[in-house]
Amino acid sequence: MLPNLSDYQAFLQRLQASGGDRSPALAVIDLEGLGDIDAALGYDATDALLRQAGEALATALPGGSVGMTGRHQLACMLPHVDGSGFAELAGHKMLRVLGEPFPCGEREVLLWPRAGLALSQGLHPVAPRKLLTQAYAAMRQARRERVRLRLHAPGATKTMLEGVDLWSQLGDAIEDGSLHLEYQPQISLRSGQVESAEALLRWDHPEFGAIRPDIMVRAAEGTDLMPRLTHWVYNTALRQCAEYRQAGLAVGVSVNFSADDLQEPEVVDLVAQSLDLWGVPPEQVTVELTETAVMESHDAAARDALHNMKQLGLRISMDDFGIGYSSMERLLRMPLDELKIDMTFVHELISSPPHQRIVESMIGLGHKLGLTVVAEGVEDADTLNRLRALGCDLVQGFYLGRPARLPHFMKQVSGAQPKANG
CA 245 – CA 163 distance, rounded (Å): 37
User: The domain that contains 150 carries what CATH number?
Assistant: 3.30.70.270
Q: 338-341 and 194-205 as β-strands: parallel, antiparallel, unpaired?
A: unpaired
pLDDT in the model for residue 109: 85
Q: Which residue among 154, 172, 188 closes a domain?
A: 154
Residues 6+ apart with CB under 8 A from 183: 197, 198, 199, 200, 240, 253, 403, 404, 405, 406, 409
389-419 burial code (b ≥16 CB/10 A, e <16): ebebbbbbbebbbebbebeebbebbeeeebe
201-218 burial code (b ≥16 CB/10 A, e <16): bbbeeeeeeebeeebbbb
Of the candidates 418, 422, 356, 365, which has an alpha carbon nearest to the alpha carbon of residue 386? 356
Query: What is the 3-state secondary structure of 204-215?
Result: EECCCEEECHHH
pLDDT in the model for residue 11: 65
C-alpha angle 92/95/98, rounded to 5°? 150
User: The domain that contains 335 carries what CATH number?
Assistant: 3.20.20.450
Is the domain of 183 the same as that of 312?
Answer: yes
Range of the domain at 286: 163-421
Backbone angles phi, psi at 393, to 5 degrees: -90, -50
Is the domain of 350 the same as that of 304?
Answer: yes
Is the domain of 121 the same as that of 180?
Answer: no
Please give the chain's pLDDT, 422 residues, in tens: 343 445 556 666 666 665 555 567 888 999 887 877 877 788 888 888 888 998 898 888 877 788 877 778 888 888 777 677 777 888 888 999 998 889 988 888 888 899 998 887 654 556 777 778 888 888 888 887 778 888 886 654 444 444 556 777 888 888 888 899 999 999 999 999 999 999 999 998 877 778 888 778 777 776 778 888 999 999 999 999 999 999 999 999 999 998 888 888 889 999 999 999 999 999 999 999 876 666 665 567 778 899 999 999 999 998 878 665 555 666 777 899 999 998 989 999 999 999 999 999 999 999 999 999 999 999 999 999 999 999 999 999 999 999 999 999 999 898 754 555 55
Q: Which residues pair with 198 in a beta bridge?
A: 184, 254
pLDDT in the model for residue 123: 45
Is the domain of 33 the same as that of 143?
Answer: yes
- pTM equals 0.65
